[in-house]
Amino acid sequence: MPSCLIVDDSKVVRMVARRILEDLSFGILEAEDGKGALTTCQEKMPDVILLDWNMPVMNGIDFLRTLRSSENGDQPVVIFCTTENDMAHIREAISAGANEYIMKPFDRAIIEAKFSQVGVL
């Protein structure tokens, strides 16, 4: 079973994403900020990371940069999932090493479409 780490400071968002992704046969891990996500990744790299942008302690883009420069950090497929819905943020995310970008609000159709685009579905 492929694993997906959901990183979002909103419990509700994590729950909604978990439901959809469990349905799509992912094993789910959760973190509520970038720092927690790094700890999880150090233990074991997930296959996919669904990543919010604005979070306390460590935000999504800082997490992504740290991840990509760490050992095996190039492996996970990273999909941003954020309310930052403008081209400037999209460009910044992709150049920092994100594979895809979801603009909130999302639903099952969007998650499925994006996950299959990057080849993890």
Partner 1 sequence: MNSQDFQLFGEIVKSRSGLVLTEEKVYLLESRLVPLARRRGLESLEALADEVRRTQDERLLNEITEAMTTNETFFFRDTKPFDIFRDVVLPQLLKARAAKKSLRIWTAACSTGQEPYSIAMLLKEEAAKMAGWRVEILATDISTEVLEKAKAGLYSQFEVQRGLPIQLLMKHFQQVGEMWQIDSSIRAMVKFAPKNLLEDLGGMGQFDVVFCRNVLIYFDQPTKGKVLDQVHNILAEDGALFLGGAETVLGICDSFKPVDGQRGVYTSVKGGLMAAAS
Tokens of 89: 């943020």
Of the candidates 92, 93, 106, 119, which has an alpha carbon nearest to the alpha carbon of residue 14? 106
CB 76 within 8 A of CB 49: yes
Give the residues lining the site for partner 1 (CB under 8 A). Answer: 85-87, 90-91, 94, 100-103, 106, 109-110, 113-114, 116-117
> Least separation, in Å, of the C-beta of 76 and partner 1?
17
Cα separation of 1 and 28, whole Å? 10
40/99 with CB nearer partner 1? 99
The closest of 2, 88, 19 to 53, measured between CA atoms, is 88
Instruction: For the CB of residue 92, give the shortest distance to partner 1 in the complex, in Å.
Output: 11
Smallest gap from Cβ 90 to partner 1, in A, equals 6
Q: Cβ closer to partner 1: 63 or 106?
A: 106
